[in-house]
């Protein structure tokens, strides 16, 4: 987990270094550079999100006496002990589900923290919010964003 965060932070540092500009008073217009930086930022976040399920899967596979089928049966209860017991979980399964849910929540918190840091340093919080809102309602901006994403998307060999 620390390795993933370290890689994400290294990628963040490289991106910020390569795209560093002082965040000045933001115009109401979204610049190409802002959109590009937003796209880079979202690439990092999506990569971090993509690492959550495999990490949880690995934890499950490494645990003797617990498998993905059993996890799927108990997943709806989360780490709620009473609900887990209702689903027939034994004490070990209750504790292990607690560990899995905590790991998942920790990773999600790290992603949120990285998103906040990236938004502040790469485009500014107000510009981040503006881009996010505008992408959902402006097809021209969305098309431009999609073109940028296609250019910067990692290749399968590099992913």
88: enclosing H helix or E strand: none
Q: Are 126 and 26 in contact (CB under 8 A)?
A: yes
Percent of the chain with pLDDT over 90: 70
**pTM as predicted:** 0.72
Q: Are 68 and 60 in contact (CB under 8 A)?
A: yes
Report how far apart the first and last C-alpha atoms of the chain are (Å, whole number).
Answer: 18
Lowest mean pLDDT among 8-22, 61-75, 90-104, 128-142: 8-22
3-class state of residue 51 by DSSP: coil
Q: Counting beta carbons within 10 angstroms of the beta carbon of residue 9, is it exposed (0 to 12), middle (13 to 18) or buried (19 or more)?
A: middle
Segment 75-97 mean pLDDT: 92
Which token pair is 43? 């690439």
Segment 54-64 mean pLDDT: 92
């Amino acid at each position: 987990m620390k390795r993933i965060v370290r890689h994400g932070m290294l990628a963040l540092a490289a991106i910020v270094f390569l795209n560093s500009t002082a965040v000045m008073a933001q115009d109401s217009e979204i610049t190409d550079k802002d959109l590009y930086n937003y796209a880079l930022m979202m690439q990092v976040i999506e990569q971090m999100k993509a690492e959550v399920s495999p990490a949880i899967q690995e934890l499950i596979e490494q645990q003797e006496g617990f498998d993905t089928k059993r996890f799927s049966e108990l997943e709806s209860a989360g780490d709620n002990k009473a609900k887990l017991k209702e689903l027939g979980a034994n004490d070990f399964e209750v504790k292990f589900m607690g560990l899995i849910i905590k790991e998942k929540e920790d990773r999600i918190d790290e992603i949120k923290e990285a998103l906040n840091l990236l938004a502040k340093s790469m485009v500014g919080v107000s510009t981040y919010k503006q881009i996010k809102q505008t992408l959902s309602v402006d097809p021209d901006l969305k098309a431009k964003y999609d073109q940028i994403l296609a250019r910067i998307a990692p290749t399968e060999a590099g992913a």
